[in-house]
Structure 1
Amino acid sequence: MDKITLVIDFFLEHKLLLTVLIIVLISLVKRFIISRIRGDVAFLSDVQRKWMSRTKNSTFFIIVMLLFMLWQTEISKFALSVTAIAIAFVVASKEIILCFTGSIQRASSRSFVIGDWIEVGKICGEVIEHNLMATVIQEIDLHHGQYHFTGKTATLPNSMFFTYAVKNLNFMKRYVYHSFNITVVEFVNLYPLFPALTSQIEQHCEDFNEVAKRYNNIIEKHAGVDLPGSEPHIHVNSGPAGEQLVHIMIFCPTERAVHLEQQIREDFMIAYHQAFSPKEPHTEQSAITE
């Protein structure tokens, strides 16, 4: 007991050494727990990411609380001595305070969780980690009509949640309203092509049509709004130079959206070529009669 008391007194007298020891021990425990959660898998699941994020946040909170308790006396003396510069300190740490309050706002509104697809400003991606200061996402190329990961990791300070609207795109992980335009320079009547084109689109979507309808109904009930529906939609608009813009929208599995778009473009081009390509002129010999 005497030795233990001596060790405790020694560390209490050398608080800096004890601080380093606390940080090192808790960091080692955190790394051990995270390695156990991760295991040997190549790709992390949403559950693993959630527990890894909780572990990191919990260990950080424990370190802060232990260090505050250890240095409480010194902190109190320091706070009393720097009252005159408190306002300057708040102004200088405004961004840090905004990050903390942004984290509180995210947690209270439950706008997203780990594994959700979100859009903040012009950045879209899947949330892989969030803490008191920042949110980390794997970027997804949505603005170019793609739905694949770019391989880039974006770290968003939580203060951005006060500046930009946070859009939760989580339902797009499975099915998506995929829209694209086909430009036709010549002014011709395109409407006769649409019934056959609609039938071809329905054939392309036949294997997942029933699942798409059920998923569309689930989204409508969850959002409480009347969505366009799972059937294909075709509209024609005019461009600024007088060209015609054929707007097509389909409700399809996210991973198949780009492939289906290419198939529909090919179908439209074939139908357009067959309907409006110039006919072969007759030769003079074919016009000669006996």
Structure 2
Amino acid sequence: MSIDFPPVLEHLSLFLNALFSNKVVLTILLAFFILGVKYALVKTVRNRAISKGKDKRDLVNNIKNFINFVMLFLLLSLWAGELQNFALSIAAFAVAIVLATREFIQCVIGFFYLASTRPFRIGDWVQVGEIVGEVSETDWMKSTLLEVDIHKYEYTGKTLFIPNNAMITNTIKNLNFLKRYATHHFNITRDQSVNPYLFIDQLQAKAELYCADFKEVAYRYSQTIERRLDVKIAGPDPHINVSTSDVGDSVVTVAIFCPTERAIEIEQKLIKDFMTMWFAARRSGNVLSFQNELDEKNNIDDSAK
């Protein structure tokens, strides 16, 4: 049995011509092919990032957005004639369509604004209005943030979806330098029954001890921040100041430049040391007796008279 190849090839050619002349079928094939390429590239980059222990979320996000742009461009080119005829047929309703879709148009404009100005990258900590989070993904309509408690430097577990038009109307603060190291401030308030200057030097020594293992790294990191921002920042040595509150209590303010993941740990250690020293000073008799001071002052005034 022999096969007549020319007729078979001719039928195959006719089938392929009919297949590729159908724009609907071609659109489906093109979409499946591009989405398959995107999936393969993203999976390859993620696997390599995991094997090397690197954060490649920014590269993955850029690949996704670029391939989506290529697919949209090709599909628009394929259906350009039909879209042109459709646009001419609804020219009278163009204003209504723009008003109905203005939020979506603003989001797309916001995406191009973010892509051109690059106020942040994937993995950066940012503050948009009152919202603080780590950027995990961006697309044409929204930016996805993992919410961060800026006071505790930890994730809250919430995922935030911010429309891109909000990135234009709100101030964007890039907090990326706080992701690794931060100047952490906290206050310790007690009454004035004990003079905090009796043990403030000991507390300073404790703070320097807790920061000793990362002091060199903190110094280099602070120098890097100062060079990039062209400003002088506090650190890396701990600073302790004593002041008074509105009601006359003693307020000890501590500022430490430390890794964000250790800020709360060091804070708790210093508060524990402060309380231990404060109560020890109180038990040892280093207590400010305001009544005795007042009586002494009254006796001096009586003697003067």
- TM superposition score normalised by structure 1: 0.85
Matched letter for residue 29 of structure 2: L
Q: Is the 8 A contact 2:153 2:260 kept in 1?
A: yes
CA separation of 1:227 and 1:45: change in aligned 2, threshold 3 A:
same
Aligned to 1:287: none
Q: Aligned pair 1:61/2:69, yes or no?
A: yes
CA separation of 1:134 and 1:26: change in aligned 2, threshold 3 A:
same
Encode CA deviations 1:101-130: one digit per residue, 9 max, x unaligned.
222222222211122221222322222222
Aligned to 1:108: 116
Encode CA deviations 1:150-174: one digit per residue, 9 max, x unaligned.
3332222211112221111111222
SS of residue in 2 equivalent to 1:155: strand
Q: Aligned pair 1:253/2:259, yes or no?
A: yes
Aligned to 2:293: none
Candidates 162, 166, 175, aligned match of 1:160: 166
Aligned to 2:103: 95
Matched letter for residue 249 of structure 1: A
- The alpha carbon displacement at 1:42 in A equals 9.2
When the two chains are superposed, the root-mean-square deviation of aligned CA atoms in Å is 2.4
Aligned to 2:224: 218
Candidates 1, 22, 30, aligned match of 2:38: 30
Candidates 51, 55, 73, aligned match of 1:46: 55
Count of aligned pairs? 275
Aligned to 2:277: 271
Q: Aligned pair 1:8/2:17, yes or no?
A: yes
Q: Is the 8 A contact 1:187 1:244 kept in 2?
A: no
User: Unpaired segments of 5 or more residues in structure 1?
Assistant: 280-290
Matched letter for residue 4 of structure 1: S
- The alpha carbon displacement at 1:253 in A equals 1.4
Encode CA deviations 1:12-45: one digit per residue, 9 max, x unaligned.
2x32232222222222222222222222849974
- Higher mean displacement: 152-161 or 2-11: 2-11
Encode CA deviations 1:64-90: one digit per residue, 9 max, x unaligned.
112111111110011111111111111
CA separation of 1:241 and 1:88: change in aligned 2, threshold 3 A:
farther
CA separation of 1:146 and 1:17: change in aligned 2, threshold 3 A:
same
Matched letter for residue 8 of structure 1: N
Q: Is the 8 A contact 2:190 2:250 kept in 1?
A: yes
- The alpha carbon displacement at 1:267 in A equals 0.8
Matched letter for residue 169 of structure 1: L
Candidates 125, 133, 137, aligned match of 1:117: 125
Encode CA deviations 1:237-268: one digit per residue, 9 max, x unaligned.
44455444322110011221111011100111
Q: Aligned pair 1:73/2:81, yes or no?
A: yes
Matched letter for residue 137 of structure 2: E
Aligned to 1:181: 187
Larger radius of gyration: 2
Return the alpha-carbon distance in structure 2 between the equivalents of residues 134 and 255 of structure 1.
Answer: 29
CA separation of 1:62 and 1:8: change in aligned 2, threshold 3 A:
farther
Matched letter for residue 179 of structure 1: H
Return the alpha-carbon distance in structure 1 between the equivalents of residues 28 and 257 of structure 2.
Answer: 56
Matched letter for residue 275 of structure 2: M
Q: Is the 8 A contact 1:237 1:245 kept in 2?
A: yes
Aligned to 2:298: none
SS of residue in 1 equivalent to 2:199: helix
Aligned to 2:235: 229
Q: Is the 8 A contact 1:38 1:44 kept in 2?
A: no
Return the alpha-carbon distance in structure 2 between the equivalents of residues 71 and 247 of structure 1.
Answer: 66
CA separation of 1:270 and 1:223: change in aligned 2, threshold 3 A:
same
Return the alpha-carbon distance in structure 2 between the equivalents of residues 130 and 242 of structure 1.
Answer: 50
Q: Is the 8 A contact 1:187 1:243 kept in 2?
A: no
Return the alpha-carbon distance in structure 1 between the equivalents of residues 164 and 73 of structure 2.
Answer: 22
Return the alpha-carbon distance in structure 2 between the equivalents of residues 64 and 248 of structure 1.
Answer: 54
Return the alpha-carbon distance in structure 2 between the equivalents of residues 109 and 121 of structure 1.
Answer: 18
Return the alpha-carbon distance in structure 2 between the equivalents of residues 261 and 115 of structure 1.
Answer: 26
- TM superposition score normalised by structure 2: 0.81
Identity %: 39
